[in-house]
Amino acid sequence: MIKVHGVPLSPFARKVYLGLRYKGLDFDMEMVPPGGGSDDFVKISPLRKIPALEHDGFTIPDSSVILRYLDQQFPDKPLYPADPQLQAKACWLEEYGDTKLIENLGPIFFQRFFRPRILNEEPDEDIVKQKIEQDLPPILGYVESVLPENGFAVGSHFTVADIALLSPLLNGRVGGYTPDAAQYPKVAGFFARALEMDFVKDQLAVEKEVFNL
């Protein structure tokens, strides 16, 4: 039995849901908000962060650790390329997505979705403008420089790099921001192709239902 503790709009929890869906593995979702849940949660996630995985009694936190664990337990449809250089590239893009992309797309999501919908506060559009006009161009520019015209982020199959670049872009999208195809053609093409994948559509359907998007 596989259970993911987290919430569907968390970019880190979504990495795990997408990995499981890509591999075609069944899982349960235990709704745990960022930083929280019951006092027992700290036993499986010492930093109190989501996601945490439960698999047949074994528990482990952290999206990157979880995806690597799942790939070793369920090697069909691998998320990590076998070739050492492609694997290193995929892990680097995972790191870039988990840091720079989330740090700069997350605030758009926070201002435009989380503040009005969850905190009942007004969004700060100055922060959104700063992110879109000042902070994101060099970051998406880097992603633009490494993505291919077509296909997947790294190598010839879907990998953890696709997951980690896609997940923060989906948070930006919930905040009404999609990379401009004229400014970032390869990022926009990558995003459009990902949105056409059936397992990504399945994930988006769950997010829509849970959060009434």
Q: Which residues contribute to the site for ligand GSH (CB under 6 A)?
A: 10-12, 34-35, 48-51, 62-64, 98
CB neighbour class for 200 (10 Å; exposed up to 12, middle 13-18, buried from 19): buried
Q: Nearer to ligand GSH by C-beta: 7 or 188?
A: 7
Helix 160-174 with 11-23: angle, nearest 10 deg: 130
Query: Minimum CB separation from ligand GSH for residue 62, in Å?
Result: 4
Q: Nearer to ligand GSH by C-beta: 64 or 178?
A: 64
Q: Helices H, strands E: what count in the chain?
A: 10, 4
What is d(CA 148, CA 143) in angstroms, rounded to the nearest whole number?
10
Residues 6+ apart with CB under 8 A from 90: 80, 81, 153, 154, 155, 159, 160, 161
Query: Minimum CB separation from ligand GSH for residue 15, in Å?
Result: 7
Query: Minimum CB separation from ligand GSH for residue 186, in Å?
Result: 25
Q: Nearer to ligand GSH by C-beta: 34 or 137?
A: 34
What does the angle CA 59 – CA 11 – CA 171 come to, to the nearest 5 degrees?
A: 165
Place of tokens 């992309």: 101
Residue 49: Cβ within 10 Å count: 19
Q: Nearer to ligand GSH by C-beta: 51 or 179?
A: 51
Query: Minimum CB separation from ligand GSH for residue 199, in Å?
Result: 20
Q: Nearer to ligand GSH by C-beta: 165 or 188?
A: 165
Query: Minimum CB separation from ligand GSH for residue 47, in Å?
Result: 7
Query: Minimum CB separation from ligand GSH for residue 180, in Å?
Result: 25
Contact 109, 168 (CB under 8 A): no
Q: Nearer to ligand GSH by C-beta: 161 or 188?
A: 161
